[in-house]
Structure 1
Amino acid sequence: MMGNKLLLNEKVRSEWVDYNGHMNDAAYAAVFSLAVDELMQVIGLDKKGREAHAYTIYTLETHLSYLMEAKEGEDIRVTYQLLDHDAKRMHVYFVMTGSTEEELAVSEQMLMGINTETGRPDAFPADIRSNLEEIAAHHQEAETPARAGRKIGINKK
Structure 2
Amino acid sequence: MEILNTRVAPEWVDYNGHMNDAEYARVFSLAVEALMEHIGLDAEGRARHGYTLYTLETHLCYRREAHEGEPLSVALTLLDRDAKRLHVFFALNDAEGNLLATSEQMLMGMNQESGRPDAFPAPVAEAITALPQAETGAWPELAGRTIAIRR
Match of 1:124 among 120, 127, 138: 120
Q: 1:8 aligns with which of 4, 10, 13?
A: 4
- Show the counterpart of 1:64: 60
Name the counterpart of 1:99. 95
Amino acid at match of 2:75: T
Aligned with 1:152 (options 136, 143, 147):
147
> 37, 44, 53: which is aligned to 1:41?
37
RMSD (Å), alpha carbons: 1.2
- Bigger shift: residues 142-151 or 94-103: 142-151
Find the aligned partners of 1:116 and 1:27 in 2 and give their Cα distance.
28
* 1:33 counterpart SS class: helix
TM-score (norm 2): 0.96
8 Å Cα contact 2:52/2:110 also seen in 1: yes
1:97 Cα deviation from its structure 2 partner: 0.2
1:84 maps onto 2:80 in alignment: yes
2:92 aligned with 1:134: no
Q: Which amino acid aligns with 2:121?
A: P
Indicate the SS of the match to 2:33. Answer: helix
Q: 1:155 to 1:141 in 2, by over 3 A?
A: closer
What amino acid does structure 2 have at the position aligned with 1:104?
L
Cα deviation for residue 140 of structure 1 reads 4.6
Change (3 A) 1:97 1:114: same
TM-score by length of 1: 0.92
* CA distance in structure 1 between the partners assigned to 2:15 and 2:134 by the alignment: 42
Alignment partner of 1:22 is 2:18: yes
SS in 2 for 1:139: coil
SS in 1 for 2:83: coil
Equivalent residue letter for 2:142: R
CA displacement at 1:132 relative to structure 2: 1.1
Q: What runs of 5+ residues in structure 1 fail to find an aligned partner?
A: none
Once the two structures are TM-superposed, the CA of residue 139 in structure 1 deviates from its matched residue by 2.5
